[in-house]
Amino acid sequence: MSGLVSVIADGAAYGMLLLLFSIGLSVTLGLMRFINLAHGAFAMCGGYVATTLFNRAGLPFLLTLPCAFLATAAIGIVAERAVIRHVYRMSALQQVLFSIGLAFAASALATIIFGPQQQAMLLPDWLARQADVGGVRIGGYRLFLLASGIVAAAALLFLFNHTLFGARIRAAVDSRRTAEGIGIDVDRLFAVAFALGAGLAGLGGAMSVAFLGLDPTFPFKYLVIVLMVVAIGGPGSIGGSVAAALGLGVIDALFKYVVPEIGSFVIYALLVITMLLFPTGLAGRRA
Amino acid sequence: MMSSWSGVLLTRRLALGAASVALFGPAASASDGKLVVGLVLPLSGAFADQGQHYENGIKLFQKINGTKVAGLTVETVTRDDQGPASGDLARRLTQELIVRNKADLIIGYSFTPNAMAAAALLTEAKKPAVIVNAATSILTEKSPWFVRASFTLPQLASSLGNWAAKNGIKTSYTIVSDYAPGLDAEAWFKKTFEAAGGQVIGSARTPVTEMEYGPFLQRAMEAKPDAVFAFNPGGDVSVAFMKATRERGLQKAGIKLMVTGDVVDDNLLPAMGDAVDGVISALHYQVDLDNPANTQFVKQYRAMFGPDAVPSYRVVQGYDAMALVYKAVEKTGGNLDGAALVEAMKGIKLDSPRGPLLIDPATRDVVQNIYIRRGGQKDGTWRNIAFDTIPDVKDPAK
């Protein structure tokens, strides 16, 4: 029985990792209507920043995380100003082609700079050990992921629903012309929102290295699961993303544990069913 | 207009190339004083890492032994087959190498599907190919022109099965990736382990790209076996697997962990850290083997790639594949006829860095020592340390 509880707790932690990964995409896709398949490239970028600082510069693990966030956000804002802002008004297909091209370019660049091999990220002992929480054994790093996911989700919910910045973003998304008419600098606003999305991707990437590894194919390996979280949760909905990520993590773990023969396929069936019943996602709004 | 003209020209040139190979292929290449070795390796994408290793091994062999053998200048022509999902590409590249570049033989195929796709073509072209890695047992039966310089998974899995049963392990649980090599590993571990008196009390097959092993391990631990035997395809998947065993405390729960040696590839160890502590593995090579050929090999490798460079078993496979080619050409006295080369490779003995190596004349498969290793710390880094040798292991599946 404690085995089952521990598997569920592990699944929840895995779900939180998915959340950290995909929440940035939910922001850009849902709020800015930009289909950013290069999201994984920003996550990869955060991962490389973190491993480089951790392994070469010897920075403590916890310090590498904000660095990954800031560095990726900075790269995001440069990319947004330089090229991406020209893509907002294009059709969905053009956005897809553009951003997947960007992801391939980033992947090739990473191969040139860092080589094709796996990057190491060995956690400090207090994170690598299993902890005992009320009789349930759970990995220290998983606890850390759980906590980080909750904090990130709460912070974003607050940001979008209770601050002026959030109100402006929502206004700009609903009607760009009106927002501009009442004096909101939508151009700048979107740049900041994009940087936020990229930074979150970078943070998620940095936190995932210890769990999923890191190599130049990273932008593509996790694209499907990230899109699943966003699609099931409903683009732009923080709450929906939390529910989708946690649900996917827990259900995936549960089925692998109870019926390992089919366990790994259940979440994909779930995706199909959700898309049939809720085409705009669990918390979906009409576009 | 331009493009259709050049298209015609190209087809013509191809046809001419094909004709010359068909008419005076072997004689022509022998008389121009060249031995052309075509390399088909994954050099881009997720497995570019592997391709680089074989290539380094081949380069190293040529640096030590020169580029002349039996009076012929050895030329390599390298092609990138990208990875395991590109059998069609591997086949096309093999064809191009033979027809256009007039390759006398091929060294290549990191992955079973790619070797499988090229098999019929090699048979038709009557050109030998030295398999540089692909480890599914039946490959050498798919074309009489295949010679394997790597290893087979049954070699590793059966060695572990035997070792486990003889070392007090009574029950075990298997966790393998759900594709051909994984099923090979599962079957041969079980077969030898149970034949020697052990019992497999449970098994799990996981998707090839599985990254979340927690639930599978939890289930394995609840079955309370003496040991877990595992195979997965290397790279990030194996790193994730090993880290998950550490996180779950598999070994702390008194369950031994045994894996085929490719799971704890030397160049993955930095990313695994102390997760390899105490892990038993079987492999045909490892860097600190104490034999003169290996001492020399490692020394030269480090001279070429840096003082801290660690040659992986893949580097050795590339190195030995080229060694096989040189030795075969020496044996035929420079005759590059495909049939003569394959005949010459049968029964060749190499003094390889991995120990004595023999190409079984009956099966064209490799016979070699399998080393049983234990993960531990040496000079401050995590290593696989060999403590037992099983000499002259044949592929048990043939």
pLDDT tens figures, B317-332: 999 999 999 999 999 9
Instruction: Kindly report which listed range (A104-108, A130-134, A155-159, A181-185) carries the lowest average pLDDT score.
Output: A130-134
- For A224-229, which contacts have Cβ atoms below 8 Å and span 24 or more sequence positions? A225/A18, A225/A21, A225/A22, A226/A18, A226/A21, A226/A22, A226/A25, A226/A39, A226/A40, A227/A22, A227/A25, A228/A267, A228/A271, A229/A18, A229/A19, A229/A21, A229/A22, A229/A26
pLDDT tens figures, B92-143: 999 999 999 999 999 999 998 899 999 999 999 999 999 999 998 999 999 9
Closest CA to A127 of A109, A139, A116, A110: A139
Does the structure show a pLDDT above 70 at B275? yes
Residue A285's pLDDT is 60
Does the structure show a pLDDT above 90 at B366? yes
Q: B235 and chain A: CB distance < 8 Å anywhere? A: yes
Chain B partners within 8 Å of A215 (Cβ): 46, 49, 235-236
Contacts of A215 (CB under 8 A, 6+ apart): A116, A117, A118, A119, B46, B49, B235, B236
Does the structure show a pLDDT above 60 at B163? yes
Does the structure show a pLDDT above 60 at B19? no
Q: Which amino acid is at A105?
A: A
Chain B partners within 8 Å of A259 (Cβ): none
- B interface mutation test: which of A10, A54, A145 has the most B CBs within 10 A? A10
From B216, B246, B271, residue closest to A260, measured CB to CB: B216
Total domains present in chain A: 1
Would you say residue A287 lies in a domain?
no
Would you say residue A282 lies in a domain?
no
For A109-153, give the DSSP string.
HHHHHH-SSPPP-PPPHHHHSEEEETTEEEEHHHHHHHHHHHHHH
Does the structure show a pLDDT above 60 at B277? yes
Alpha-carbon gap, residue B184 to B61, rounded angstroms: 31
Would you say residue A98 lies in a domain?
yes
Cross-chain residue pair B218–A221, CB shorter than 8 Å: no
Higher pLDDT, B288 or B276: B276
CATH number of the domain bearing residue A135: 1.10.3470
Q: Which helix (H) or strand (E) holds B175?
A: strand B171-177
Average pLDDT of chain B is 89
Contact present, A253 and B214 (Cβ < 8 Å) = yes
Would you say residue A221 lies in a domain?
yes
Residue B86's pLDDT is 82
- B interface mutation test: which of A4, A113, A264, A265 has the most B CBs within 10 A? A264
pLDDT band per the 50, 70, 90 thresholds, residue B375: very high
Q: Which residue of A has its CA nearest to B219?
A: A257
Q: A133 and chain B: CB distance < 8 Å anywhere? A: no
Cross-chain residue pair A256–B216, CB shorter than 8 Å: yes
Chain B partners within 8 Å of A142 (Cβ): 247
Residue A1's pLDDT is 60
Q: Please, is B83 exposed, middle or buried when counting C-beta atoms within 10 Å of its C-beta (0-12, 13-18, 19+)?
A: buried
Q: Averaged over A240-254, what is the pLDDT?
A: 92
Would you say residue A285 lies in a domain?
no
Q: Which residue of A has its CA nearest to B236?
A: A213
Cross-chain residue pair B215–A260, CB shorter than 8 Å: yes
Q: Which residue of A has its CA nearest to B208?
A: A264
Residue A131's pLDDT is 78
Does the structure show a pLDDT above 70 at B23? no
Does the structure show a pLDDT above 50 at B216? yes
Would you say residue A81 lies in a domain?
yes
Does the structure show a pLDDT above 50 at B26? no
Residue B331's pLDDT is 94
Rounded to 5 degrees, what angle do the CA atoms B317, B321, B327 make?
140
Chain B partners within 8 Å of A263 (Cβ): 215
Domain residue limits at A152: 2-277
Q: What share of chain B is helix, strand, coil (3-state, %, to 5)?
A: 45, 25, 30
Would you say residue A284 lies in a domain?
no
pLDDT tens figures, A132-177: 777 777 888 889 999 999 999 999 999 988 999 989 988 887 888 8
Chain A partners within 8 Å of B49 (Cβ): 115-118, 215
pLDDT tens figures, A31-79: 778 889 999 999 999 999 999 999 999 999 999 999 999 999 999 999 9
Q: A266 and chain B: CB distance < 8 Å anywhere? A: no
For B261-280, give the DSSP string.
TTTT-GGGHHHHGGGGTT-E
Q: Averaged over A176-202, what is the pLDDT?
A: 90
Would you say residue A104 lies in a domain?
yes
Structural tokens at position A224: 């499907």
Cross-chain residue pair B46–A264, CB shorter than 8 Å: no
